[in-house]
Amino acid sequence: MSATVYYADLHVKDATDNRLAKISRLCQAVGLAALVQPKKRGGADELVAVKAHFGERGNDTYLHPTFARQVIDLIKEAGGKPFLTDTCTLYNGMRHNAVDHLETAYLHGFTPYVVNAPVVIADGIIGMSEELVPVDLKHFKEVHIARAFREASAMVVLSHFKGHQMGGFGGAIKNLAMGCASYAGKIDQHGRNVVIYEEACIGCGLCLDSCRQEAISLKKVEEGKTKGKAKGKKKAKISKKKCIGCYECMTVCKQKAIGVEQPDEHSAFVERMTEYAYGAVQGKEGRVCYLNFVLNVTPQCDCAGWSDPALVPDLGILASVDPVALDTACFDLVKAAPGLVPLPGCGDHCAGVDKFAGLRPETRGFHQMEYAQSIGMGSMAYKLKKV
């Protein structure tokens, strides 16, 4: 059975049709009020988690905090008690612990005064506040979900649809998976099979600076290990014992000298990620809705400390109670759209081409929805309804 995905384009008639008005219409169409209203008598401890991504320091294409404010105001109007939230990161950056994360959130405008709700880091001060959730799936029997998400009665998931280094792209599924997992859960989802392509490495050291685990070092190339011109030069080396597989080194490497050794790792990665997304919403059946913002569709996710030019024009805002249908619809819109940057093998415009696979041919982004459908998270079949 197909799911309904509501869609608001970005054409504006007048001041009553701005983006905040569109968000309001989408929330009404998706039935947000009924999803977030307290169900128990009194409803004193029934809280609504509004999942967002506050953006890494230096990034400027994360969702605008007033978008979150619009959703939060609607939740309050419906009688819900919202809090805006995200979790600590696995990689080295300014969101690795709750103190740095909150300071970054405030710097980017996500303050309680702007969003009209408390801002909470869901997995505690250093990412250890969690609850184990049984899932009994292919890769995991149980998953580590941040405690605040487990304690919330309902959830509204706000996702910036954009590219991702390992997942191909990130939408609602990826936001649930990484964004609702504790520190241990993020380690679960990432692999530990990072490899340096010695011939491509120039020994610049950017990967060393990015590695919080101190798993990377620069060492001289030994005799006979590579071509003669590289002998004696320093190349990056990875300690398999220390590496936790956060892939931040891959993100910062300009030479594309870092990858994964297992050929099927990209498929396995999105499957592990999807199983965590499945676990994140367990116990909240009928009480979760999703909004995807297909704006500033950058090659990197908002965890990068920079923002590249968008791959396609801004396409709209979409909403659904089905994250699989929602991500599929967003993927299809991006695929159909003309490209703004040349991609290998498809010329300058790339309309009708998978932009994320064109950017990173090794990734398996579409498999997110295929696998999510197979484990019962939702349907890839959808009806697009304009609001």
The Cα 70–Cα 115 span in angstroms is: 8
Helix (H) or strand (E) run with residue 27 in it: helix 19-29
The Cα 88–Cα 101 span in angstroms is: 7
What 3-state DSSP class applies to 168?
strand
Digit-coded pLDDT (tens) for 370-387: 999 999 999 999 999 999
> Out of 14-23, 175-184, 257-266, 358-367, which region has the weakest mean confidence (pLDDT)?
257-266
Share of the chain above pLDDT 90, in %: 83
Among residues 266, 197, 289, the alpha carbon closest in space to that of 236 is found at 197
Task: Give me the phi and psi of 322, to 5 degrees please.
Answer: -115, 110
Where does the pLDDT of residue 54 fall: very low under 50, low under 70, confident under 90, or very high at 90 and above?
very high
Task: Give me the phi and psi of 229, to 5 degrees please.
Answer: -65, -15
Q: pLDDT at position 4, please?
A: 98
**DSSP designation for 86:** E
User: What domains lie within the chain, and their CATH numbers?
Assistant: 3-190+265-386 (3.40.50.11440), 194-260 (3.30.70.20)
- Rounded to an integer, what is the distance from CA 213 to the centroid of its chain? 22
> Out of 56-70, 101-115, 246-260, which region has the weakest mean confidence (pLDDT)?
246-260
Digit-coded pLDDT (tens) for 130-150: 999 999 999 999 999 999 999
Where does the pLDDT of residue 244 fall: very low under 50, low under 70, confident under 90, or very high at 90 and above?
confident
Question: Which two structure tokens, joined as six digits, stand for 298?
Answer: 């950058």
Question: Which two structure tokens, joined as six digits, stand for 168?
Answer: 């191909």
Task: Give me the phi and psi of 30, to 5 degrees please.
Answer: -80, -5
Question: Which two structure tokens, joined as six digits, stand for 371?
Answer: 């696998």
- Rounded to an integer, what is the distance from CA 26 to the centroid of its chain? 21
- Rounded to an integer, what is the distance from CA 33 to the centroid of its chain? 25
- Are 130 and 185 in contact by the 8 Å Cβ rule? The answer is yes
The Cα 379–Cα 387 span in angstroms is: 21
- Are 158 and 63 in contact by the 8 Å Cβ rule? The answer is yes
Model confidence at 104: pLDDT above 70: yes
What is the arithmetic mean of pLDDT over 154-167?
Answer: 97
Q: pLDDT at position 228, please?
A: 47
Among residues 44, 36, 49, the alpha carbon closest in space to that of 122 is found at 49
Digit-coded pLDDT (tens) for 305-319: 999 999 999 999 999
Q: pLDDT at position 332, please?
A: 98
Measured at the alpha carbon of residue 77, what is the angle toward residues 3 and 27, in degrees to the nearest 5? 20
Share of the chain above pLDDT 70, in %: 95
What is the arithmetic mean of pLDDT over 194-211?
Answer: 92
What is the arithmetic mean of pLDDT over 323-334?
Answer: 98
